[in-house]
């Protein structure tokens, strides 16, 4: 049974095939060009699909002649002929398996509390943290990773012909032979550069960004972007940033509110605070990610607090 993702990609391929034939037609207009650019900007998968059908077009003998439709042909006839050409192109892409494999981009994801390390064909190494999902969208001209949610550390290999780009929502990180951590959560977007050099900016080329343009990070720097547009750059403790790779969480004078938020990323048993005032207590220490409830108990002991079972979770209270 085909998945919704596969059906969606088939539909995008069909649209891309139709656009390619339309743009190759002698009747191409400025309005068509503008509509095509708008379609490309709607979703990154559109550009990927168009690149795939273009590759197929280039290797089909006499493809250009297929759309040389006589000018005297009636509009309805021309539409039928263009549709037929687009259908043939889509058949070559999908049925012939020429480039459809490349469009079916590998997807990697982890469950809550899980981790996974993958090495891609070009040698790039990616380590996924808890509850993370990403798609590898490589093409002939670029190596793009779509980080849908969660956190990952990327250690990419140099390839000047194909830049390495990580896209998270409307932001993109461009790198070259670099190691960096990206976190894409609903409440925060963070990029921490461990080694090398990265540029953080809008995902779409030419996209307007009145508040934030492109930010170039140096090793040890982190850029944080929160909902509402607030952006800050700091230099965090890299041991704290990367500790999750070892199954640890390191805090140095962090608020209990932040600590609880981090613990809840790794366990299915929710940890909460019995009193909002407790969120301002300070916490320092090293805790394991595999058992957030035990970590909550250790923190409670440090502050003479109690951990109480409540439904499917636990509550830290006085």
24-72 tens-digit pLDDT = 666 778 788 778 778 877 776 777 677 666 655 554 444 444 444 444 4
**pLDDT at 313 exceeding the cut of 50:** yes
**pLDDT at 289 exceeding the cut of 80:** yes
**pLDDT at 84 exceeding the cut of 50:** no
Name 75's Cβ contacts closer than 8 Å, sequence gap at least 6: none
Residue/partner pairs of 42-45 with CB below 8 Å, 24 or more apart: 43/12, 44/137, 44/144, 44/146, 44/167, 44/203, 45/8, 45/9, 45/12, 45/137
**pLDDT at 113 exceeding the cut of 60:** yes
Name 21's Cβ contacts closer than 8 Å, sequence gap at least 6: 67, 82, 85, 86, 89
Confidence of residue 203 (pLDDT cuts 50, 70, 90): confident
**What is the second-level CATH architecture of the domain 247-317?**
3-Layer(bab) Sandwich (3.55)
pLDDT tens digit sequence for 136-171: 988 888 999 999 899 999 999 989 899 999 999 888
- Radius of gyration, CA atoms only, the chain: 25
pLDDT score for 212: 58
Neighbours of 135 (CB within 10 A): 19
**pLDDT at 174 exceeding the cut of 60:** yes
pLDDT tens digit sequence for 223-262: 999 887 789 999 999 999 999 999 999 999 999 999 999 9
Name 232's Cβ contacts closer than 8 Å, sequence gap at least 6: 223, 224
On the CB side of 271, CA atoms within 13 Å amount to: 27
CATH for the stretch 105-238: 2.60.120.1440
**pLDDT at 276 exceeding the cut of 90:** yes
């Amino acid at each position: 049974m085909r998945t919704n993702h596969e059906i969606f990609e088939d539909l995008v391929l069909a649209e891309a095939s139709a656009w390619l034939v339309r743009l190759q037609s002698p009747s191409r207009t400025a309005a068509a060009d503008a509509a095509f650019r708008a379609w490309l900007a709607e979703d990154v998968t559109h550009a990927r699909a168009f690149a795939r059908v273009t590759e197929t077009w280039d290797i089909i003998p006499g493809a250009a002649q297929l759309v040389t439709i006589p000018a005297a042909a009636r509009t309805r006839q021309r539409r039928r002929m263009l549709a037929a050409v687009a259908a043939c192109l889509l058949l070559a892409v999908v049925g012939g398996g020429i480039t459809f494999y490349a469009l079916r981009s590998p997807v990697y994801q982890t469950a809550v509390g899980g981790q996974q390390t993958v090495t891609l064909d070009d040698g790039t190494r990616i380590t996924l943290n808890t509850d993370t999902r990403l798609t590898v969208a490589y093409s002939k001209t670029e190596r793009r990773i779509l980080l849908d949610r969660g956190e990952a550390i990327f250690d990419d290999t140099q390839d000047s012909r194909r830049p390495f780009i990580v896209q998270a929502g409307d932001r993109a990180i461009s790198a070259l032979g670099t190691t960096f951590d990206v976190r894409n959560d609903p409440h925060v977007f963070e990029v921490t550069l461990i080694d090398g050099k990265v540029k953080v900016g809008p995902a779409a080329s030419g996209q307007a960004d009145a508040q934030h343009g492109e930010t170039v990070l140096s090793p040890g720097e982190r850029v944080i972007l929160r909902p509402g547009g607030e952006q800050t750059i700091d230099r965090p403790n890299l041991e704290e940033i990367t500790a999750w790779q070892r199954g640890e969480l390191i805090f140095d004078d962090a608020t209990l509110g932040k600590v609880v938020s981090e613990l809840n990323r790794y366990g299915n048993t929710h940890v909460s605070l019995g009193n909002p005032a407790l969120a301002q207590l300070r916490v320092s220490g090293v805790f394991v990610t595999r058992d957030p409830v035990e970590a909550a108990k250790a923190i409670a002991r440090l502050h003479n607090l109690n951990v109480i079972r409540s439904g499917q979770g636990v509550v830290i209270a006085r």
